[in-house]
Amino acid sequence: MKHYKKSVLILFVIILLLMAVCSCSSNPKIMRYDLAREELAVLAANVKPTTLPVRLDPNEMFDLEFSHETQSLPDISEYPFVINPSTAIYITVYSTMPEIIQAANDFNNDAITVDGQQVSVGVRAVGSALGTNFILAGKYMPDILIPASELYGGTLSYRSIPCCLIANTTVRGASGVVVSNKTGLDSFSELIRQVYNNELSIGYVDPLQDPDGLNFILSVLHEFDSAQPLGEIAIEGIQQLQNNITYIANSSAQLKSSFLRGILDGYVLDYYTFKNTMEYNSGYTFIPFGIAQNNPIYTVGELTPIKMQAAQRFAEYCKAAGASATDSLLTDFSSNILLTPAITGELRSVYRSIRSGLSNTTAVFVADVSGSMHGKPLLKLKTSLRGAISSIDPHNNIGLVIFDAEVNIAMPIAPFDSKQQSYFSNAITNMTDGSTTAMYNAIAVGLQMLLEYKDKNPDTKLVLFVLTDGDSNAGLTFRRMSPIIAGLRIPIYTIGYEPEKNNLHTDALEKLAAINEADFINTNVEDISYILSSLLSSQI
């Protein structure tokens, strides 16, 4: 019996040890900040990076005035028809709403005729911000835009783009903040007060990409000064609030993960996402704010009479589809915010100026030029980096590291003025693929650059961007670096160029980004400049 008990005890101890090992492998130990700095300094010095000479791009000197929304736009081929037109005469629609897409399908199936000619609808799943940017840039003009709210149609009118509102409401919607019931919050005003006083942590998706994020900015400005939401008092208030915003993210998935892990007390999302998220079925509250997101319909440009009639007929289908999907909360929701031409026309510009005034971020790009990036991956990396230059606020500080088996500092950190932009462009031009991949060596060097810069600029925020296919076969490893990265608490955003060739590479990039609540982007699409631009605009 004693032998049996001893065997059971030994087996139990072995199981505990195995559980401990598994736990360590999936959740790397977090070093103390001071120890992480000491270890990193040693590792980075042992890498012995070479600092390359910087040279101006002979073909490029950059203007500091930029608008990333209308530069680096994707090709329309990235957004094929989700409902194909079925006749010679058709109207093109931009919308991502499932109800609108279903209405288009019904419209085409009913074989609608106008003046004896059959007409149809083609729908591209283009969202509010991107659709508006296409139109402002004069590219890929649709016949109909169905954005989340009248903020977008108002922007077009303010910029003298011919457009006509033919339906105020199709599918009712609302923006809000999800919080735990434990907060006791049910008022947007009280939520903003607590964020302002740094008693509550929330996040939202970049307002230049996301309708709910833009609605949030409008609502906060209105909270500070309802009479003059674009006035000095409102702008000073939101600037102070921005200092206490935990995340301005590139995707709501990143915010959801941080919220459910307890890192955020709440985040901005739309009502249907809240309603259809299983985790929020109980124990959570949706606090609505701002103007209604009622998906109005705008015609764009000068439509022919037959197209205008087709658009009006299609609008009836959309309103019927939206009426059948209405929720009681959305029916009761009302707003006291008055949309004026100045608000709809200037809100995005005001937000850009607020962000620019607060910009004090230092970022290092770590770019993979190893042999595994030969051909298409390296070409995509160079194209996307060049296209994204205009998305980086010149008030920020930027450095560049390139690596294969060796690690080279292609551009030391400096303010991203026109000269630094030209250095950046020239370094991109001269990237050529090399040998094996020492990714974590390069990450160590990039992190050390950031920390040394912060020592001289203590108020700056640090971030690292790693652009690679995820293959790392030389030098330092994830296992060695992950506790250090966790201890430093510097977010590392990973951008994967065709890592799907090896799922292990994708997993590695996801784990690297997850250490400090950053994000991983898989660049499977052909034109990823716009995706990278959007990420950079939300972070730097």
DSSP output for 226-279: SS-TTSHHHHHHHHHHHTT--EEES-HHHHHHHHHTTS-SEEEEEHHHHHT-GG
The residue-averaged pLDDT of 213-237 equals 94
Residue 178, pLDDT score? 97
Task: Give tens-digit pLDDT for 369-425.
Answer: 888 888 888 888 888 888 778 778 788 899 999 998 899 999 999 998 888 988 998
109-136 residues labelled b (16+ CB within 10 A) or e (exposed)? eeebebeeeebbbbbbbbbbbbbbbbbb
Q: Is the predicted pLDDT of residue 12 greater than 90, yes or no?
A: no
Residue 293, pLDDT score? 93
Residue 398, pLDDT score? 93
Task: Give tens-digit pLDDT for 113-167.
Answer: 999 999 999 999 999 999 999 999 888 999 999 999 999 999 999 999 999 999 9
Q: Is the predicted pLDDT of residue 68 greater than 60, yes or no?
A: no
Class of domain 175-291 as given by CATH: alpha beta
The residue-averaged pLDDT of 91-108 equals 96
Q: Is the predicted pLDDT of residue 90 greater than 70, yes or no?
A: yes
Q: Is the predicted pLDDT of residue 169 greater than 50, yes or no?
A: yes
Give residues with Cβ within 8 angstroms of 463, minimum separation 6: 361, 362, 363, 490, 491, 492, 493, 518, 539, 540
Residue 187, pLDDT score? 93
Residue 26, pLDDT score? 40
Residue 377, pLDDT score? 83
The residue-averaged pLDDT of 354-382 equals 83
**pLDDT tier at 357, thresholds 50, 70, 90:** low
Give phi and psi for 368, each to the nearest 5. -85, 120
Cα separation, 445 vs 44, whole angstroms: 5
Share of the chain above pLDDT 70, in %: 86
For domain 27-56+359-539, which CATH number applies: 1.10.533.10, 3.40.50.410, 3.40.50.300, 3.30.428.10? Answer: 3.40.50.410
Q: Is the predicted pLDDT of residue 315 greater than 90, yes or no?
A: yes
Cα separation, 342 vs 497, whole angstroms: 41
Check residues 306 and 517 and name the one with the higher pLDDT. 306
Check residues 45 and 253 and name the one with the higher pLDDT. 45
Domain boundaries, the chain: 27-56+359-539, 70-171+293-332, 175-291
Please tell me the least confidently modeled range out of 275-284, 378-387, 461-470: 378-387
Compute the CA torsion angle 168, 169, 172, 173 (nearest 10 deg): -30
Which 3 state secondary structure label does DSSP give 8?
helix
Q: Is the predicted pLDDT of residue 64 greater than 80, yes or no?
A: no
Residue 72, pLDDT score? 65
Best-predicted range by mean pLDDT (51-60, 213-222, 414-423): 213-222
Task: Give tens-digit pLDDT for 466-494.
Answer: 998 877 888 899 999 999 999 999 999 99
Closest C-alpha among 443, 446, 448, 450 to residue 477: 443
The CATH number of the structural domain formed by 70-171+293-332 is 3.40.190.10
Give residues with Cβ within 8 angstroms of 280, minimum separation 6: 178, 274, 286
Q: Is the predicted pLDDT of residue 289 greater than 60, yes or no?
A: yes
CA 76 from chain centre, in angstroms, equals 20
Which 3 state secondary structure label does DSSP give 216?
helix
Provide the whole-model pTM. 0.77
The residue-averaged pLDDT of 252-272 equals 90
**pLDDT tier at 229, thresholds 50, 70, 90:** very high
Best-predicted range by mean pLDDT (51-55, 188-192, 320-324, 347-351): 188-192
